[in-house]
């Protein structure tokens, strides 16, 4: 990309973020922070673009209440896809109702793009300097990519005044450009978290930042961590084991002041190979170890056309009352 064009893009990004900062709601409109709570997080992720369309705010709040959840994650996932398809007024209404019910609200997004034309920024390169044709990750050594990625968090905070927690999904050192080689990619991502905190705290002084990842990567830059707990059976027939939970407990012991909660990933696209018993067992084992869990994700478990799961059994494993929820989930 010509240098002049990159300079213009960078200046536009700076101007955009400055405009967001001026338009943001004041800190008095945001809820008080509850950082440092020792209560295990018990929650579920809901896809942002489905709220008010496939599922109602009333349903999500009813499930949170009936199952005694204390966290709901609003997942923007691949944000360039879901953001324009999301009814932000409906989402904000849901966030308000959840906060009234004393449920934490966390926004999740992946700072990536599906197609390269979605943003004129630096993308991750392989060892030969090539970038992918789709599902692109970023080069976090590039200023334009950092500003673009952090800017989505500013949009979320500006649009959803009830949100004061953002969790970034699985940031990986995927770039092998000259600035990212020799393990420098992780260093750039750690600095990216610092940049996010500096920018987001202007809009939300009580901001808390988390990460969904393999383990406790970047923990010293974060307020909370959601390490993956894969709930699946793979080609060799093996599923998740107690060793996975043991690793998460070690992370928790290593970072006693951080909230570290297993992120139960139940969906693997066409490679999904689990059942209701697998999901229920994972939740129950997490509860037994007092780790809590974040169940990913709501629509797949309760509204997938395949009706892959016994919804009543999963609600029971969550400690919920099926009689109160069957009107939403029985079909």
Per-residue pLDDT for 165 more than 90?
Answer: yes
Question: What percent of the chain stands above pLDDT 70?
Answer: 86
Q: Which of 203, 193, 224 is nearest to 30 (CA)?
A: 203
Handedness of CA 266, 63, 289, 258 (dihedral sign): positive
Listed range (25-39, 56-70, 148-162, 183-197) with the worst mean pLDDT:
25-39
Confidence of residue 114 (pLDDT cuts 50, 70, 90): very high
What integer is the mean pLDDT of 82-92? Answer: 97
Determine the pLDDT at residue 39. 87
Burial class (CB in 10 A: 0-12, 13-18, 19+), 48: buried
Name all domains of the chain by residue range, CATH numbers in brackets. Answer: 38-115+139-173+186-329 (3.20.20.80)
Res. 29 pLDDT band, cuts 50 70 90? very low
Burial class of residue 145 in the structure, from the number of CB atoms within 10 Å of its CB (0-12 exposed, 13-18 middle, 19+ buried): buried
pLDDT at 10: 42
Indicate the SS3 state at residue 155.
Answer: helix
Look at residue 21 and tell me whether its pLDDT is greater than 90. Answer: no
Mean pLDDT across the chain: 88
> What pLDDT score does 37 carry?
55
Q: Taking 80 as the threshold, does the pLDDT of residue 76 lie above it? A: yes
Task: Compute CA 207 distance to the chain's CA centroid, rounded to the nearest angstrom.
Answer: 15
The whole-number pLDDT of residue 234 equals 77
- Residue 59, SS3 per DSSP: helix
Tell me the C-alpha to C-alpha distance, in Å, between residue 275 and each of 101, 223, 233, 237, 281. Answer: 31, 33, 9, 13, 10
Question: Which helix (H) or strand (E) is 228 found in, with range?
Answer: strand 224-230
Contacts of 56 (CB under 8 A, 6+ apart): none
Q: Tell me the pTM.
A: 0.87
Mean pLDDT computed over 168-181: 95
Q: Is 129 left (phi over 0), alpha (psi -120 to 50) or beta?
A: left
* Contacts for 237 with CB less than 8 Å, ≥ 6 apart: none
Query: Which 8-state DSSP code applies to residue 235?
Result: T
Question: What pLDDT does residue 242 have?
Answer: 67
Kindly state the average pLDDT of the residues 14-35. Answer: 41
Closest CA to 114 of 147, 90, 85: 85
* Tokens found for residue 190: 């750690």
């Amino acid at each position: 990309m010509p240098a002049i064009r990159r300079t213009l893009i960078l200046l536009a990004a700076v101007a955009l973020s400055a405009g967001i900062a001026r338009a943001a709601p004041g800190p008095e409109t945001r809820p008080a922070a509850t950082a440092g709570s020792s209560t295990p997080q018990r929650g579920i992720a809901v896809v942002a673009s489905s709220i008010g369309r496939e599922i109602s705010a009333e349903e999500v709040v009813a499930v949170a209440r009936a199952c005694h959840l204390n966290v709901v994650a609003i997942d923007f996932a691949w944000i360039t896809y879901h953001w324009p398809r999301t009814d932000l007024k409906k989402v904000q209404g849901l966030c308000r109702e959840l906060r009234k019910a004393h449920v934490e609200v966390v926004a999740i997004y992946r700072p990536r793009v599906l197609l390269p034309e979605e943003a004129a920024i630096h993308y991750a390169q392989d060892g030969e300097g090539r970038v992918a044709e789709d599902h692109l990750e970023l080069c976090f050594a590039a200023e334009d990519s950092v500003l673009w990625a952090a800017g989505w968090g500013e949009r979320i905070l500006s649009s959803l005044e009830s949100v004061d927690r953002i969790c970034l999904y699985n940031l990986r050192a995927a770039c092998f450009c000259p600035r990212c080689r020799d393990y420098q990619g992780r260093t750039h991502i750690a600095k990216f978290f610092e940049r996010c905190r500096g920018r987001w705290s202007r809009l939300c002084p009580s901001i808390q930042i988390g990460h969904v990842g393999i383990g406790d990567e970047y923990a010293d830059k974060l307020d909370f961590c959601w390490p993956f707990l894969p709930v699946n059976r793979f080609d060799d027939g093996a599923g998740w084991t107690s060793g996975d939970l043991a690793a998460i407990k070690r992370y928790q012991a290593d970072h006693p002041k951080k909230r570290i909660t297993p992120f139960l990933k139940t969906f693997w696209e066409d490679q999904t190979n689990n059942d209701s018993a697998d999901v229920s067992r994972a939740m129950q084992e997490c509860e037994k170890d007092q780790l809590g869990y974040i169940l990913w994700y709501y629509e797949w478990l309760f509204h997938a056309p395949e009706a892959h799961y016994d919804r009543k059994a999963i609600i029971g494993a969550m400690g919920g009352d099926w009689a109160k929820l069957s009107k939403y989930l029985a079909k």
